[in-house]
Structure 1
Amino acid sequence: MSAYDRAHHALTTGQPLTPADATRLLADLRRETGTQLADAVEKQLDGKYRRTRDDTDASFRKKRVRYGIAMRTVNAVRALARNTPNFPHQRDRRSST
């Protein structure tokens, strides 16, 4: 069962989640969404930057640079989706500065 399905089930059944379960569920949902988004963007980029007959060496180098930038962005989205943020507890009255 995907995180989306679990969230839908939790919201529609009327059974409350514990704060820990809700946090875990939202983290799973964020992870799945980020991974699916990165996979979809990578699929869109797959054939876009291939060398064609009309490309000169300079234009192909530019294509490779653009593809590298796009893939670094996709990999950054994947990394953000994988990592779980370590936020302090909300009832912590200590200053964050």
Structure 2
Amino acid sequence: MTAYTTVFKALTAGSALRPGEAAQLLAALRQETGEELADAIETQLDGKFRRTGDDTDASFRKKRVRYGISMRIVNALRALAKAPHLSNFPHQRNNRSTS
């Protein structure tokens, strides 16, 4: 049973949910939705950054860099979906100072 179906049945059952139960159901729904979204994005990226006959070495390096950045975003989305609380964002790989 999918998380959406579980949440739908719980909401339409006619009885009130305790806050803890509701939070668990919503967390499962968020995780499932995040995974599906990340998988869909990864599927769209597949093949987009492959080397073609027209690519020079420099243009292919740029494609690889873009692919790496795209996959970091997909992995950050997966980590965010799995996070127990929405305040637990993945670490930003940024060495720059804010001051």
- TM-score tier (shorter): 0.7 to 0.9
- Tell me the secondary structure at the aligned position of residue 47 of structure 2: coil
User: Could you give the per-residue CA deviations for residues 61-85 of structure 1, whole angstroms, max 9, x where no partner exists?
Assistant: 0000000000000000001111111
With structure 2 as the length reference, what TM-score do the two structures score?
Answer: 0.83
Whole-Å separation in 2 of the counterparts to 1:86 and 1:75: 16
How many equivalent residue pairs? 87
Displaced runs of 4+ in structure 1, greater than 4 A?
none
Distance 2:86 2:9 in 1: 27
The higher radius of gyration belongs to 1
- After TM superposition, the structure 1 = structure 2 runs for residues 1-97 of structure 1, keeping only pairs within 5 Å, are 1-85=1-85
The runs of 5 or more residues in structure 1 that have no matched partner are: 88-97
- Counterpart residue number, 1:90: none
Q: For residues 13 and 82 of structure 2, what CA distance do their matches in structure 1 show?
A: 29
Q: Which amino acid aligns with 1:78?
A: R
RMSD: 1.3
Identity among equivalent pairs (%) = 64
Q: Which amino acid aligns with 1:9?
A: K
Structure with more contact order per residue of length (Cα contacts < 8 Å, sep ≥ 6): 1
5+ long unaligned stretches in structure 2: 88-99
